Amino acid sequence: MSVKAFILIDTSPGKAREVAAKIRGVPGVSVAHAVTGPHDIIAIAEAADVTSLGELIVHKIQSVTGVNRSLTSIVAD
């Protein structure tokens, strides 16, 4: 059973679209959109388990140039 999460991402000013495009290319990320509101990007990611999801977020998403912070909500249903 896989684990899915919504990831709210804050970027450097003016970089949301560029960063979202990079994040869309990360394996395990199915969707990444620049949005309005308190966060700059909303992404959906999926991994085999919580450990793999954590590695995806920390090593692949948070390391993208322009990502300043992220907040992850794991899907519970």
Residue 1 pLDDT level (bands cut at 50, 70, 90): confident
pTM for this entry: 0.94
The CA R_g of the chain, rounded to the nearest whole Å, is 11
Taking the C-alpha atoms of residue 29 and residue 57, their distance in angstroms, rounded to an integer, is: 10
- Of all residues in the chain, the percent with pLDDT exceeding 90 is 99
Task: Spell out the domains of the chain, with CATH numbers in brackets.
Answer: 3-74 (3.30.70.920)
Q: Which amino acid is at 18?
A: E
The mean pLDDT of 12-39, rounded to a whole number, is 97
What's the mean per-residue pLDDT of the chain?
Answer: 97
